[in-house]
Amino acid sequence: MINSMTGYGDAQGEIDGLSYAVEIKTVNNRYFKAAIKLPEQVAFLEEDIEKLLRRNLSRGTVNYALRLKEVSAPSLFDIDEAALKALMERLRRIGSAAGSGGVIDIGGLLNLPGIIRPALPDNETARRIREAVLKVSEEAIGKLKQMRAAEGAALEADLMNRCREIERYLGRIHARSDAVLPEYARMLKKRVDELLAQAGLKLDEEVLAREVAVFADRSDISEEIARLSSHLQQFTQSCGANGQAGRRLDFISQEMLREANTIASKASDTEITRYVVDIKCEIDRIKEQVQNVE
């Protein structure tokens, strides 16, 4: 069973009156890439969250966001009162020395760097926050994986349909290839007979047989048909296997396209070429879909 790399999961939890909301969105990527957004108060959890994501997701771009909801200001920030008082005293002295009074804008002072700092939890509070956030994150990951599995089932159904279409076209190519050589020999003999009749000469059957043998060797596509059939079987088996199959499916689809191109270049028959074009269209659609398989 394959999984999609596209998905979404969210969850909420509460601890000590603080409400935590987690959202996880994933899109396709050749490798694992995590973008984690955390409030400054819980920035110490980034490494733990990334490890949790890596344990559960092998590929894809993962956008993780943690938000605090319904939180009071004292829980979010600390004010460096000593620094603020010292700054106000200094401003008063400067005003007195300059012979001017005025009102000090405390609101403006709070915007200065270092006056307001994130409220950092103590060790015990940090432990409880870590447990709560990781629990909520695991719940969101569970929902995400369910969605990726559902998307993967739809992807697998589409890929299997594509493979069946290729098998159908491949069967027609195989049937047609058996008739190509006799038809070529017949057309070649007819053309040679016409030319020799105009010149009053007689056909050398040995030369004709040698030319037909060269054509048969040059246009033989039986090996390519067998390899393409084998690739289709491997592709189907990989879709049904457990684990991350995206990279393997991508490689197999490239090999399928290689064999189709070889068949097109070797087969000197318009009908076979038309079937190959249909096969290549299906393979291109497969390659597009495979890019979203985990």
One domain for residues 11 and 86: no
Categorise residue 27: left if φ over 0, alpha if ψ from -120 to 50, beta otherwise: beta
174, 57 contact by CB (below 8 A): no
State the pLDDT at residue 161: 95
Nearest residue to 253 (alpha-carbon basis) of 224, 277, 289, 278? 289
List, in sequence order, every beta strand (DSSP E) within the chain: 7-15, 18-27, 32-37, 60-69, 77-79, 116-118
> Per-residue pLDDT tens for 123-152?
787 888 889 899 999 999 999 999 999 999
Distance between CA 11 and CA 14 in Å, rounded?
A: 11
- Looking at the structure of the chain, the number of domains it has is 3
> Per-residue pLDDT tens for 197-238?
555 545 556 655 565 555 555 657 778 889 999 999 999 999
Tell me the C-alpha to C-alpha distance, in Å, between residue 191 and each of 96, 99, 194. Answer: 115, 116, 5
Cβ-proximal residues to 111 (8 Å cutoff; 6+ apart), any chain: none
One domain for residues 93 and 48: no
- Mean predicted lDDT score pLDDT of the chain: 80
One domain for residues 206 and 279: yes
CATH code, domain carrying 32: 3.30.230
φ, ψ of residue 30 to 5 degrees: the values are -65, -30
Q: Is the pLDDT of residue 107 over 90?
A: no
Question: Quick one: what percent of the chain has pLDDT higher than 70?
Answer: 68
One domain for residues 12 and 139: yes
Instruction: Specify if 196 maps to a domain.
Output: yes
Range of the domain at 50: 7-72+122-151
> Per-residue pLDDT tens for 5-49?
999 999 998 877 778 899 999 999 988 999 999 987 788 899 999
One domain for residues 94 and 19: no
One domain for residues 161 and 179: yes
189 CA to centre of own chain: 55
One domain for residues 28 and 132: yes
